[in-house]
Amino acid sequence: MREEILRACFGLFARWGIRRVGVEEIVAGAEVSSGDFHSWVGSKENAAEAYLQHLYLLWAGAFEAAVAVRGEGPEALLGLFDAVEALCGNEGTGRASLVHVLAEFGPDDPLGRAAIGLSALLRSEIARLAHDAGLARSGEFAADCHLLLAGCILSRAHGSLRAVEDARGIAQALITAHLKAQTLHP
């Protein structure tokens, strides 16, 4: 029952943001009693923490899969933006990202700090993917790409229909620059 309740929470949090969703909406969405919610999940804060873990696993898995679909080599890293396109939706209305949680809560809130920590783990995943794809300075690439991904996600949320396409083009230039620097300074 806990998974069903959390699934309802995740859908509501993704659509409306964590702050705007109350326990009443969660109980109604999960079709459980308030007592069941508190027995199985404990509190909205516990549900929000589980949601952040869910987001991390969702994005890490999507990045891994999208890069794998593109094949091998540095160009496969453009798959990161395929993942953004898939997870943010065709209309850019998807709010299911750590970037959105950080924007909602800020860096001083415990949930904002948790989003920052999990976002750093995603950046490490990007560095690993970049290393596996053959980029020598994978940490530097991951930092640059992470910034580009966050901007792309926010631009999509603000309605930019070209955000992913534009970010993918910038990422291509970023990959080219890293490959050139790798050749000049091995």
pTM over 0.85: yes
Please give the average per-residue pLDDT across 179-184, as a whole number: 85
- Give the torsion through C-alpha atoms of 17, 21, 26, 29, to 10 deg: -70
User: pLDDT tens for residues 96-124?
Assistant: 889 989 999 999 999 999 999 999 999 99
Mean pLDDT, residues 152-175:
92
69-94 pLDDT, tens per residue? 999 999 999 999 999 988 887 544 45
CA dihedral 9, 147, 152, 84 (to 10 degrees): -60
Share of the chain above pLDDT 90, in %: 82
Residue showing tokens 């007592």? 35
| Structure confidence at residue 158 (pLDDT) | 85
